[in-house]
Structure 1
């Protein structure tokens, strides 16, 4: 059995290439109005920097949003994001135990609340196991990416 240094990061598991979880979310319609909707959070080892938030069921027309996995993790701890995707951690002082994500499109803004414990658990047990934090860039073919940009 090979020696394992306690500070070394585990390598990505090659037999697993993606992971996802379906969550019961709430689409915020107004200050005191929301509707329950299913969403799917997904992560792929071949796109190691991003997660996908896919709206399911009646909200499927909202499509799939891709944004930084690090942004999602950071948003669990403190307000994060500056552009089209912003994330706020649970705020128990205002009675909101959920993770709130704002998605800004061309014509509208969508607020969705996700169960923060389930998101955190999925990131830790699934996503970070598939590709450990900090090792994402080792899975990107930078030469191919640069070639694609210069064509």
Structure 2
């Protein structure tokens, strides 16, 4: 989802934010061909239910994608997602040892393979340390959200 300001540099922007280092992901071109693609996941306490996937150094037209933090966590263990973002764990029987994130948009579909351990570690050690699973809704100003929706 375009429009978010990316976190500058390799690390978090503030104490309420957390980001993975830039990861060496691969964009699948089909037929067993890939191109390298830098990826970074960002978690912001102001949006406690979501993570943002950025593509540092890429053309700004590539944009960013925002999706459920819980979806990313579930996708580490089993296929998850039903809409524009689907996540599948590594599948050694199909020769894929990385986390697969499939993004679907108006311009097509992209399958991106991301190293598993940095994502798992970051979620567990940083993101969930900032906001534990299950307490996200306590950080939402529901009155302000209602005003924004009705507004």
TM-score after normalising by structure 2 = 0.87
Return the offset for 1:60: 4.9
Q: How does 1:1-151 map to 2 (within 5 A)?
A: 16-21=15-20, 22-58=22-58, 60-151=60-151
Tell me how far apart the structure 1 counterparts of residues 60 and 76 of structure 2 sit (CA, whole Å).
25
> For residues 59 and 25 of structure 1, do their structure 2 counterparts lie closer, same or farther at Cα, with a shift above 3 Å needed?
farther
Alpha-carbon RMSD? 1.3
Aligned residue pairs total 137
The answer as to whether partners of 1:55 and 1:61 remain within 8 angstroms in 2 is: no
Q: What are the superposed Cα offsets for residues 31-89 of structure 1, whole Å, 9 maximum, x if unpaired?
A: 31001111111000010000000112346532100000000000001000000000001
Shift in Å, 1:93 = 1.1
Structure 2: runs of 5+ lacking an equivalent: 1-13
TM-score by length of 1: 0.87
Higher mean C-alpha displacement, 56-65 vs 96-105: 56-65
